[in-house]
Amino acid sequence: NDVEREFTQVFATLFPGGEGRLLLTNPDDMLTTGIEVEARPPGKKIKRLSLLSGGEKSLTAVAMLVAIFRARPSPFYVMDEVEAALDDVNLRRL
């Protein structure tokens, strides 16, 4: 629940005017459930992660990592070449 809340906030920061959500695929059984990522970059319809562009997928993944980091703080984080798959438009958002 806290990761979902953080993801929504981080996604909105990376995609101003957009909306991102995390949904459990089987909320009745926490042992077998998965996580479905829904993303709506600004000016687009809600899409599953598999339908996003490469840059949108990368930024959505960064939003997920940052959400986990914020929900479950650690003394330090190491992220290498996060921007490698981003084009100029998406790089400016990071």
CATH number of the domain to which 49 belongs: 3.40.50.300
**Percent of the chain residues past pLDDT 70, beyond the cut:** 100
The pLDDT confidence band at residue 82, using thresholds 50, 70 and 90, is confident
CA distance 52 to 45: 11
Counting residues of the chain whose pLDDT is more than 90, the rounded percentage is 59
Strands 47-48 and 19-24: unpaired
Q: How far apart are CA 46 and CA 65, in angstroms?
A: 20
Determine the structural domain holding residue 41 and report its residue range: 2-93
Write the CA distances from 57 to 19, 27, 30, 39, integer angstroms.
14, 24, 26, 9
pLDDT value, residue 73: 93
Integer-rounded Cα Rg, in Å, for the chain is: 14
pLDDT at 19: 94
> How many structural domains is the chain composed of?
1
The model's pLDDT over 20-64, given as tens digits with 9 standing for 90+, comes to: 999 999 999 989 999 999 999 998 887 778 888 888 888 999 999
The answer to whether 22 touches 7, Cβ cutoff 8 Å, is: yes
